Chain A
Amino acid sequence: MPRVLLLFPTTTYRAEAFLRAATRLGAEITVATEEDTALTGLNPHRLLTLDFDDPAGAVRRVAGFAREYPIDAVVPVDEQSAVVAAALAAALSLRQNSLQSTLAAGNKYRMREILRRGGIRTPSYQLFSVDDNPEFLAGEVKYPCVVKPLILSGSRGVIRADTEEDFVRAFRRLAAILCAPDVAKCGAAARQILVEDFIAGKEVAAEGLLSGGKLHVLAIFDKPDPLDGPFFEETIYVTPSRLAPTAQAEISSCVAAAAKALGLTEGPLHAELRVSEAGPWIIEVAARSIGGRCSRALRFDGGASLEEVILRHALGMEIQSIQREQEAAGVMMIPIPKGGILKEINGVVEAKNVVGIEEVSITAHKGQELVPLPEGSRYLGFIFARGATSESVEVALRRAHCHLDFVIEAEVTKARWHDVGLVGPPCRM
């Protein structure tokens, strides 16, 4: 049986989905995480611990492991593990992206540089240090702009500024986020801030699979809630897109060109784009699949999950079809309405009973400290719907969300840590 090495950050939502898919394919599974899981020591051929911040060290560790347990595929789930996967795959001669391409895709400044040089439509940008004085910079920036970190995902730390005052506030707020312990450990990239033009228009996401440098677009998601700032909270994704076929074709071409410019050639790809009157603009291209539990919104002919498609590609197995199912599908990432401690969750049964709703998955737990954007990086949960049309799916998601009631009590002692600038959000070091 082929063996797949799955690289899971311990914070992933995707472990169950990848394990299920790998099991279904009959693969032997080894899971590598950046910290020990509870039984790592008891199952050394099934559970590994690798330092995801040290790809070279990970290569040494896995090369020794692979001599005893040959590995047929390495599959990452996020940007950081994508870099490690590229290094491992190069050492083991497996199908993966190059190390350079994953490093570029994992750093928004490098990505912008490469896309600009490649003639891909992408916002104009400037790079600053967190140590710069935003009051001096405010006059050099074009408004409206977006202040964002080079790393991080899920819109964490991304803030729009319309005026010089907004900019100074946004810059300082992001600088504080970058000083949080879980971010600061990411090194030099956590000391820099990207400021780019705000592109007015609709936002979409594209999910793709690269094989031998050829992009297969698996789905284009509309994001019907306007993402105009000041924060860019992801909520609803619905596919198929309601954009005109020509606009969708332009999006696909734009993503393919971006992937080519970055040198991404193999495996999943997730892109975020703005669609203005001028056409699509690449906001981000990542060498990973869609985050959170959102992949459950995708199902392919025969019922294959996105994880199965990714694993089949990595293992060199036949992929019979990557045609998405006929039904429209969507997911709502349930946003955190305010910071505090989650005390109660009500209305889940009623939300599940809404016509078209397939699942309501609450991933936050009672007693959890909730940190909203731009400091936070988590959702309260996910709602999934399927239906005949994208419109009906969107309506179902909104109706279900209306039933949910989260009782959140402000915690006085930890209130507004970002304003205090002394204590970071909860994180495990």
Chain B
Amino acid sequence: MEQEIKIVAEVDKEDIAVCRFTVDRPVYAGRVDFARSGGAKGVPLAEKLFEIEDITQVSMFGPVVVVSKLADRSWREIGKQVGAAIREYLKSGMGPTEERFQASLAEPAAMRKKIQELFDAQINPGVATHGGWVELIDVKDNNVYLRMGGGCQGCGMADVTLKQGIEALIREKVPEVWQVLDVTDHAGGTNPYYEPAK
């Protein structure tokens, strides 16, 4: 008998227009991001999700589907439609096979080595000019966990350095990465390079 598909939905605490759906099995082998304006580019689940009115953006990686919405409809309502679309997609057998999914997972030690080399050769020499450093904390399920220190910790431009610099470089050099997650306690920074003032 086919096992029930379990999905946990979690609205983003920082942005209530974004909801993360974590499924108990792989949804996508690798990572893809779509905006409604750019279309679903032939990816069946993204096509299905964009059939739901108000959905503006879809990201998929491994067992996770992140959806952004517009308009006043609640996640309670839209979430049911998203859940139904994911279930329908998986039940129809369009999801990745376990074998294909496993093949998409990077070997953590190899990924860690590549990223550490990137940190050592480019990122840390760059942020050192502002008295900062970036430490690779872990690589798990194709997700990279890092911590910023020194001038980067609590810096007003830390998000710019992270998103436009570090994350962009990681995605360029190690495209199999799903997410780059900053675990820094920025509030604990005592010597930020740029102090916000306006």
Residues 1 to 47 of chain A near chain B (Cβ within 8 Å): 1-2, 8-13, 15-16, 19-20, 23-26, 29, 31, 33, 35, 37-39, 41-43, 46-47
Q: Which among B38, B163, B192 is the interface contact of A1 at CB below 8 angstroms?
A: B38
Q: Which of A153-185 contact B (CB under 8 A)?
A: 153-154
Distance between B148 CB and nearest chain A CB, rounded to angstroms: 10
* Cβ–Cβ contact B35 & A377, under 8 A: no
Q: Are B165 and A15 in contact (CB under 8 A)?
A: no
Number of interface residues of B (CB under 8 A): 53
CB of A418 within 8 Å of the partner chain: no
By a CB distance below 8 angstroms, the chain A residues around B37 are: 1-2, 26, 317
Inter-chain CA distance A2–B38, complex, in Å, is 10
Total interface residues on A, CB under 8 Å, equals 52
Contact A39 B165 (CB under 8 A): yes
Nearest CB in chain B to that of A153: its residue: B198
Chain B residues positioned under 8 Å from A8 (CB to CB): 157, 160
**Nearest Cβ in chain B — how far from A372, in angstroms?**
14
The main secondary structure of chain A at its interface with chain B is: loop
The stretch among A201-209, A240-248, A301-309, A393-401 that forms the contact with chain B is A301-309
Q: Determine if B169 and A42 form an interchain contact, defined as CB atoms under 8 angstroms apart.
A: yes
A48: min CB distance to chain B, Å: 10
Which residues of the partner chain B approach A368 to less than 8 Å between Cβ atoms?
A: 195
User: Can you name the residue of chain B whose Cβ is closest to the Cβ of A47?
Assistant: B164
Instruction: Output the least CB separation between B106 and chain A (Å).
Output: 23
User: Number of contacts between A and B (CB, 8 Å)?
Assistant: 149
Say how far A360's CB is from chain B's closest CB, in angstroms: 10
Against A, the Cβ 8 Å flags (1 = close, 0 = not) of B163-192 are: 111101100000000000000000111111
Instruction: Find residues 141-156 in chain B having any chain A CB closer than 8 Å to their own CB.
Output: 151-152, 154, 156
CA distance A12 to B15 in the complex (A): 20
- A63 to chain B minimum Cβ distance, whole angstroms, is 21
Looking at the complex, which one of B69, B152, B198 makes contact with A291 (CB distance below 8 Å)?
B198
Q: Return A307 CB to nearest CB of chain B, in Å.
A: 10
Interface string of A126-152 (1 = CB under 8 A from B): 000000000000000000000000000
Whether B126 sits at the interface, judged by CB under 8 Å, is yes
Known: A12-B198, A39-B126. A321 touches B71 (CB 8 A): yes
- Cα A101 to Cα B52 with chains together (Å): 42
